[in-house]
Chains A and B, each alone.
Chain A
């Protein structure tokens, strides 16, 4: 399903960056033709989701949110550098679905967009609880990996690293990216711990008979290969 996102943001640098990064996720980003008539552009574009800045020329975001709400139930995410609780309460009362504070990380915004789209359009719900890899079953719910009736006991970090690698099967995942993902998951490890974890993970996989399934690419990262 192709998603069209309508971003009402007067800062061109932010708008262009969002357009690029959301575009990579297959979302089409459009903006209003002019800030005098955001509603008109909204009706022409018919987007699946609206991202709305609060401070805008002519009228503010609250105004346009009210106008849009009068004619549509489209999900709206507010974007603002203001952090007063009143602003958040206001936007929720205007019918906003979420509130993101500037400056934000693009992955945070993306996660919120995806969560909102999933809730409203039941989109992208085909994520499974089990990954298959070289004949082994990785049970994401219970946190175990099983092959031929044998089970490996992985620590949380090891399991997390394994999932990251297997989800990007046959592609190199850089150490930086793995650490970044670990941090996003509130596991604040450093380089050394990552090395230790990968070594232990490899050892446990060897016991399962998957000794060469995770390769080290010197200076680049790791890759979970299909044997």
Chain B
């Protein structure tokens, strides 16, 4: 920092040394001014020491502002523009003004963007609710014409459409999850069974059987978001199950007291090299591409929501031996650090 300052000031230093040199030459050559060599050296030393002291003094004064500015850089808080150091010089003041203006313009842009985002989310939520009216009408038509040919296919397609629309609703809500979140003690069976029932048309189409086991335990979670996570996991299991097979859903409590829900399918499994990436956005993997039905969004959303509500997701699979997904629910005291 000091040498950078000296570098900035080098023209002044050069000028001083040049002036001193010129004075020396004048003193030496002018016959009218008789000066001893020792006196000349003494004067030069004195003036150079004085220059050094002057530079140190100016360095401390003139760089006080920028040194404080540098310290601020590391903190980079959202309200950094309010912590700007006090300006001693006109140029520092101008710097402050420019920074304030930049911050203000940035804040305005950010605000506008946030506003647009909010409008977009509101619009999406409203759109989803609008879409639910025709979905309801179609649902009722299917229910009252159940014996008509092809109705089972239509019902399965209806379900796919509904799941997509509903997923969209949750995506638009994701940003306000914290405000829309309430922890409850839930009986696993009461959460899992309706969610499985919801997927009936799809399971019927693929002739799947779902086996529930040991779900009479209570877990702590937000009902709505917990069900959302479960739905993504379940629909994934249904998607990758071959026809006529069984999906096993069971629960256990591990040694640390966490309740773990396990969803096990008999699908083709996930290759080992794909396993670490299944929760990534847009990742569809070999099986996904094979079936041409994966959006790569479901598990990513499940993971995002899980992280926010303190649920841990894990997957285990071997090619050809199905996939096991585990959902570990948080303990009561885990919520202290979720809420921060």
Contacts and interface: CB of A to CB of B under 8 A. Distances in A.
Interface string A153-179: 000000000000000000000101101
B197 A14 contact: no
Contact of A180 (B128, B137, B162, B200): B200
A18 interface: yes
Contacts of B224: 83
Given A180-B200, A190-B207, A106 B244 contact: no
Interface residues of A, number: 34
B152 interface: yes
Interface string A67-82: 0000000000000011
A85 B182 contact: yes
Given A13-B134, A81-B133, A190 B208 contact: yes
A190 to B, nearest CB: 4
Nearest to A20: B144
Interface residues of B, number: 34
B143 A21 contact: yes
B197 A106 contact: no
Contacts of A123: none
Given A21-B144, A188-B203, A102 B209 contact: no
Contacts of A190: 203, 207-209, 244, 246
Interface in B203-218: 203-204, 207-212
A107 to B, nearest CB: 7
A198 B226 CA distance: 37
Nearest to A109: B140
B35 interface: no
**Interface residues of B: mostly helix, strand, loop or mixed?**
helix
Contacts of A55: 129
A104 B200 contact: no
A143 B319 CA distance: 43
A14 B137 CA distance: 5
Contacts of B200: 180, 183
A145 to B, nearest CB: 25
Given A103-B132, A103-B136, A188-B197, 4 more contacts: A13-B134, A21-B140, A102-B136, A183-B197
Ranked 10 nearest A-B pairs via Cβ: A17-B140, A188-B210, A13-B137, A81-B132, A190-B209, A106-B143, A103-B136, A102-B136, A81-B129, A103-B135
23 contacts: A11-B133, A13-B137, A14-B133, A21-B144, A81-B136, A83-B224, A103-B132, A103-B135, A103-B136, A104-B136, A106-B143, A177-B146, A183-B197, A183-B204, A184-B197, A186-B212, A188-B197, A190-B207, A190-B208, A190-B244, A191-B244, A192-B207, A192-B244
